[in-house]
Amino acid sequence: MYQYHTLNNGIRIVFKQNNSIVTHSGVYINIGSRDEKGSDEGMAHFIEHSIFKGTEHRRAYHILNRIDGVGGELNAFTTKEETCIYASSLSIHLERCLELFADIIFHSTFPQKEIEKEKDVVLEEINSYKDTPADQIYDDFEEYIFGTHPLAHNILGNKKNVKHFDTDSIRDFLQRNYTTDRMVISIVGNADFKKVVHLCERYFGDYSMRTSAADRSEAPQYQHFDITLKRHTHQMHIMTGCAAVDTFDDRKVAFSLLNNIIGGPAMNSRLNVAIREKYGFCYTIESQFSPFSDAGLFYIYAGIDPEAHDHYLELVRNELFRFREQTLTTLQLHAAKQQYIGQMAINNELALNEMQAIGKSRLTYDHVDTLEEMQRDIENVKATEIRELANELFSDDKLSYLVYA
């Protein structure tokens, strides 16, 4: 199903063919906010913005018009551990996308005039997050979890650093981190794989191999906390969570299934039924599992009426502790697995999601599991594994709380 190739310079390719007239393509780079140090904080995200502002061959307008001008979409995002530049276009324009990716990754000039304008954009993005407590609380929670470690960095950076970014500091960060061994080209679309390899060789193959040693400091030991911050919002925003397994842990699939049961996107999640549907305490309640290369986080977020605070937390703890005290029945586990498998299949039907998922998987694991292989792994999860994880992670001395009151 998935086809692979590695260029002589170490850039990896993963491809899946479909019959759509639209192709989704992107370049994943194994660099994110955790790779920043000191005055670099916010740099990975800032590069994601400014990489579109001019190359040796194009001005900013020509970059944006190259894909958008033929009805496509060009975009990028940054996480704690990756940067992705991607595009969706008619399949006949795949070559146009790959040529543009190579141009902006290897030939961007970062003109200071454009950088100054983009600083204002990023500063307003930071302000926007600070004005949105439902987003800001995630960043604050991670900062309390990871302390002074780079994983605590807000992906957007801080205003002081952003104001001092310039052409030289950007180029220095790129030179140190954007190496060919950290790049993956991911494509899902209607094309012949030989042609895909040929195009990648043509536009990416002439760049010399460059490698960089992993320089990520070990994630810190987790210490639980209970913190309330005054924010004077109409709702009380509450984050409950703890450390979880990392992306290479053999129990990752089991914990992903557990997270989906607790507060996944379905309306029958335990938290949605026990808190929103039964008591109407909140509009949104959800849990998330964020695995990193050497750490993991589990969060539960809700915005509630302040008067419901005590009852809400009691209900959340009861739901978590139930997994410690009771092993899922055979029927409960089977239903949870079928739901999770169905959700994954539907998500993979969206080719853009699949392109991003397989790019990240090739970057992280150097291979991609098929849907059948993922289904097999989910089916192999045992009820005892879920209970053991709950007992390891969901105790009073492991759970942390952050409240915006």
pLDDT of residue 217: 87
pLDDT of residue 8: 98
pLDDT of residue 232: 86
Q: Are 266 and 343 in contact (CB under 8 A)?
A: yes
pLDDT of residue 38: 87
pLDDT of residue 215: 78
- Residue by residue, pLDDT tens for the chain (405 residues) are 899 999 999 999 999 999 999 999 999 999 999 999 889 999 999 999 999 999 999 999 999 999 999 999 999 999 999 999 999 999 999 999 999 999 999 999 999 999 999 999 999 999 999 899 999 999 999 999 999 999 998 999 999 999 999 999 999 999 999 999 999 999 999 999 999 999 999 999 999 999 987 778 889 889 999 999 999 889 999 999 999 999 999 999 999 999 999 999 999 999 999 999 999 999 999 999 999 999 999 999 999 999 999 999 999 999 999 999 999 999 999 999 999 999 999 999 999 999 999 999 999 999 999 999 999 999 999 999 999 999 999 999 999 999 999
In the chain, the domains with their CATH numbers are: 2-204 (3.30.830.10), 226-404 (3.30.830.10)
pLDDT of residue 1: 87
Query: CA 77 to CA 45: how far, in whole Å?
Result: 8
Q: What is the 3-state secondary structure (H, E, C) of the chain?
A: CEEEEECCCCCEEEEEECCCCEEEEEEEECCCHHHCCHHHCCHHHHHHHHCCCEECCCEHHHHHHHHHCCCCEEEEEECCCCEEEEEEEEHHHHHHHHHHHHHHHHHECCCHHHHHHHHHHHHHHHHHHHCCHHHHHHHHHHHHHHCCCHHHCCCCCCHHHHHHCCHHHHHHHHHHHCCHHHEEEEEEECCCHHHHHHHHHHHHCCCCCCCCCCCCCCCCCCCCCEEEECCCCCCEEEEEEEECCCCCCCCHHHHHHHHHHHHCCCCCCHHHHHHHHHHCCEEEEEEEEEECCCCEEEEEEEEECHHHHHHHHHHHHHHHHHHHHCCCCHHHHHHHHHHHHHHHHHHHHCHHHHHHHHHHHHHHHCCCCCHHHHHHHHHCCCHHHHHHHHHHHCCCCCCEEEEEC
pLDDT of residue 105: 97
Q: Are 320 and 390 in contact (CB under 8 A)?
A: yes
Query: CA 185 to CA 66: how far, in whole Å?
Result: 19
Tokens of residue 203, six digits? 């536009």
pLDDT of residue 216: 87
pLDDT of residue 212: 85
